Amino acid sequence: MKILLLAFSVQQDVFPLGLHYLKGYATKYHPDVDIQIQEFSFGNRVSYETNKNLEIQALAYLALEKPDIVAFSCYIWSGEMIRDFVRSIKRLHPTMKIILGGVEVSEHLLTPDVEFIIRQEGEIAFKECIDYWKGTISKEQVHNVVYLNQQKSPQQRQENPSIELENLDEIPFPYSTNSTNSTIDERYNVVRLETARGCLFDCHFCHYAKPTLRYFSLEYLHKNIPLLFQNYSFENLTVLDANFNSNKERMFIILDIIEQQVKKRQETKNPTNTKPLKLHCEMRPELMDESTIKKLENYSFKIDIELGLQSTDPVVLKEINRPTHIGKVAAALQMLSASRKLTYKIDLMYGLPGDTFYKFLNSARFLLTHATKQHKLVAHHSMLLNNTTLFEKKTVERYSETHSSMIIKTPTQDVVELYKTKLFIDLLNKELEIIKER
């Protein structure tokens, strides 16, 4: 059996972590199955491309590789094109089986061309799909999947029970080997590390909190993080945890492991592996304090911290279920702005339920007043993501019926006001750009 794990990405030098998780876990139970990973990158494609060169390239690759099964990871940028791509595969290879998954997969993609849609976590589900095709379990026993029951007429949607990995340590570390012939894989400028899944909070616009909050053990990380540095050369390490500083003690243990590896890398003076490291992570600003900042500054690598704020308005924050202590956020920004070493990015979102242009202005003012090291107003047009509480509430309209996409109307804002907000942000940032550059 030959399986291709496929994704369309926007950046080709980012390690495809999710696909490697699926491959690693499935290979543990099915070492006889040939599982390959291939990504195709949109790169700088920003305009509508009539010729679909990337899609044709991917179809040509499939025709040559001839996998028995193709499994797609769906993201915001690929969700819309996957349906047509799947259809094309089936027209060219009617017997090729197709699985769809990923955080942005939508049931609207469930057509007779698709064998399974994997919802939620994919490791167990993907492994059990292989069990099913090997004949060791029935279709009904595959967890976390939705499919069309072909034996009924008309075909009926079937949803199987859900399951989560209780122990994340069961997932083989995705960087424990590299697939190149050389000692060190240099293909990726950005690698990602997960030390936890899920989130303490449950913001309605986000799906981080959908899986139960679980942690990879410190033993697992102690053992495996060195393998990342041993096998890969990279400049950027992104820790994917939603709130990396929610447990400070644990955070510093992990950073200490990374520091050890960075120093070791510098000592070996391997010319292919001496790139200075920049670590990116997400933190909760209210949990910041002076001692944390001092400790973070002591690491030899650069640390860039992403802080989500979204809004300062209490009505909006209540609507999106995001408890925020504005005073502590202001204090955190003051401390971070005074740090000579740490850099940060703090974002707003506009178009959230309950939001108005005036509320946004007040949030923007807060950022300009307190985030003095950030010479730009970073504000995102809110997206209504599939598989979120906000999506289930159905109080806002978005651009696409089926795909995670921009909000175009809320009970308090229309599309003109939303676009106008974007224009205002552009206007403000033009001035800030001048101040920064001079």
In the complex, the residues that contact other proteins under the rule CB under 8 A are 313, 356-359, 361-362, 364-365, 368-369, 416, 419-420, 423-424, 426-428, 430-432, 434-435, 437-438
| Coil, helix or strand at residue 71 | strand
Closest approach of other proteins to the CB of residue 319, in Å? 15
- Structure tokens belonging to residue 95: 């017997």
- Structure tokens belonging to residue 273: 């592996």
Closest approach of other proteins to the CB of residue 350, in Å? 13
Which of 64/423 has CB closer to other proteins? Answer: 423
Closest approach of other proteins to the CB of residue 364, in Å? 7
Q: What is the CA radius of gyration of the chain?
A: 23
Which of 221/425 has CB closer to other proteins? Answer: 425
Distance CA 341, CA 332 (A): 15
Angle at 112 between CA 80 and CA 52, to 5 degrees: 35
Which of 179/362 has CB closer to other proteins? Answer: 362
Closest approach of other proteins to the CB of residue 434, in Å? 5
List, as one string, the DSSP characters of 302-329.
EEEEEEEEE---HHHHHHTT----HHHH
Closest approach of other proteins to the CB of residue 426, in Å? 7
CA 393, distance to chain mean position in Å, is 23
- Residue in 182, 187, 261 with CA at minimum distance from that of residue 226: 261
Which of 285/354 has CB closer to other proteins? Answer: 354
φ/ψ bin of 296: left (φ > 0), alpha (ψ from -120 to 50), beta (otherwise) = alpha
Closest approach of other proteins to the CB of residue 316, in Å? 10
Closest approach of other proteins to the CB of residue 428, in Å? 6
Distance CA 358, CA 374 (A): 22
Which of 394/438 has CB closer to other proteins? Answer: 438
Which of 252/424 has CB closer to other proteins? Answer: 424
Distance CA 20, CA 39 (A): 12
Which of 297/431 has CB closer to other proteins? Answer: 431
CA 156, distance to chain mean position in Å, is 31
